[in-house]
Structure 1
């Protein structure tokens, strides 16, 4: 990649990516461009429905306040798209469970009337995502949502310094920008500071060799923290393509994971709004100490779902991880997070 001065209209990857995906999702139906595990069957929905059971009372836990236990039970689907997951869940959960879809697109015309809908752009600074944040219990689901959240992209130079990658949106042409020690880096990181970006990289994706690329996942961590505050009690669950720290340390992901998708195929990640831009998620960095991260195979190979229902899935649809995090950590909810995955 060139680090020479460029006459191209360059932007930081994080900014171009954020704008491009917002444009893509407000003008395109995602289901026309890629397939998810929701399209492959009801295994994911059935496991989520089974996880909605209220946590058992821990013998050493104080009785739960009546005001909290009487709050409505909900399943909130962040980045709901066509509403396919909620439509499946509507046939699996009790009528008293409220289903709420959240997306930048308007409510789908064919969505069942019983399913609620919030047309909002979810950011880490949004005040109220559901219209009743903090007043509901249950589950928050982020299924293939965090992988779309834009991150700063860096490449290690010969001295293993992370250099910010800049991109020309119309073509996807990339140029190396400043390193994180340069004052110019402050404006190119999507609202996080250079010191925060460097600390995240040092801990979660350490330097390995020159030319290695990384997506700085801190914006996703911060957005995930916001999602865990939607509920008064319950669990937040992220389901996504992911990589783990041990593999990142070994350099197995040194090529970076930013990709474009359009019309069902991977393509050059051109952040002009015509393709979906995505990258794998460091779910282990999103997770709080009370959370559990497991492979999708482990989570779905349960009596509630059964391994037979996974046999017909394309292999790539089984390569997700699940992050299951209690929204109000107690001994009981932490234990439930662990038992949820069998």
Structure 2
């Protein structure tokens, strides 16, 4: 008698990702796990400069809103709450006192999190302030297409061809990934478009920002980007709950009216994050200060590096305020 575990029957990739990431015992919801930081390095985990930059963006939004009595900060896919807690710590005390912070996450609330942070499964229905989604959309489950058909996948990662694409998914590919509706392999981003629209429209006044591994219509990868991560290493994307399963985002297709799309390097530079080395003269007058500034410059360089985190795309979608970045003096 075989002792090998039974492999579940093939299903479409969207269903397989949903179960592997968010189903019972899934990668993102299993209790006691290390959270995303234990498996891959994001900008949030790379440096506190990132939270500081988001805090300055929130201050910009606050100013454009006229400094409301209550200012919402919504952190989508909050992980263990590292970003929202870092932003609160970086804000001036008077502003932090007006902030209503929300961490949107499907996993359980971590112990020791700042009690001011409300831990929720979905964003508030109406917000005034900043909704920030750092590396959320790349984990929104999606369909994979190959040669005009859906790709099916079993729990061991083995793939097989499925049914022909339906009209809506074929139309999405025709518009956003031309040619892939007939031949080749592609990732159908329609589910991400819908997820982002649902989140962004909760912002009545303010700014909604999505930051992710991404590509645009002119730079679609010819064979897609589906992959897995476990314990800091890229692995085969097997939808068994044992690894992160992710694909880059067609972020241009998500963009709503008035949205601005720019690289992380451009966004963080606009928010004052610089990888410039401190003047060498500081080493003789303030050695400790020089070392601190040198370390900060190194972290900033990582966050803005070409070919690395700096190539992430930021989708900035305003609601009732001017677009960001703008040319007005702050």
| TM-score (normalizing by structure 2) | 0.81
Aligned to 1:333: 322
Check the 8 A contact 1:75/1:98 in 2, yes or no: yes
- 1:141 and 2:141 correspond: no
CA, structure 1 residues 54+79, in 2 after alignment: closer, same or farther (shift >3 Å)? closer
Q: In the alignment, which of 86, 89, 97 is matched to residue 88 of structure 1?
A: 86
Shift of 1:318: 2.5
Q: C-alpha distance in 2, partners of 1:40/1:259?
A: 21
Q: C-alpha distance in 1, partners of 2:241/2:157?
A: 11
Q: Summarize deviations over 1:277-315 as a string: whole Å, max 9, x none.
A: 000001100001310010011111236222334224575
Check the 8 A contact 2:270/2:325 in 1, yes or no: no
Q: In the alignment, which of 40, 49, 61 is matched to residue 43 of structure 1?
A: 49
Aligned to 1:240: 212
Where does structure 1 differ by over 3 angstroms across 4 or more consecutive aligned residues?
54-57, 68-71, 208-211, 312-315, 336-340
Residues 1-342 of structure 1 aligned to structure 2 (within 5 Å): 9-22=9-22, 23-27=26-30, 28=33, 29-52=35-58, 53-54=60-61, 70=68, 72-93=70-91, 94-95=95-96, 96-118=98-120, 120=121, 122=122, 129-130=123-124, 133-134=125-126, 136-156=127-147, 162-169=148-155, 171-180=156-165, 194-207=166-179, 212-248=184-220, 253-302=221-270, 304-307=272-275, 308=297, 309-313=299-303, 316-328=308-320, 332-334=321-323, 336-339=324-327
State the number of aligned residues: 288
Q: C-alpha distance in 2, partners of 1:55/1:83?
A: 22
Shift of 1:166: 0.2
Comparing both structures, which one devotes a greater share of its residues to helix? Answer: 2
Higher relative contact order (CA 8 A, sep 6+): 1
Give the aligned CA root-mean-square deviation in angstroms.
2.4
Check the 8 A contact 2:170/2:181 in 1, yes or no: no
User: What are structure 1's unaligned runs of at least 5 residues?
Assistant: 1-6, 58-63, 123-128, 157-161, 181-193
| TM-score (normalizing by structure 1) | 0.78
CA, structure 1 residues 69+299, in 2 after alignment: closer, same or farther (shift >3 Å)? closer
Check the 8 A contact 2:173/2:180 in 1, yes or no: no
Check the 8 A contact 2:62/2:129 in 1, yes or no: no
User: What are structure 2's unaligned runs of at least 5 residues?
Assistant: 1-6, 276-296
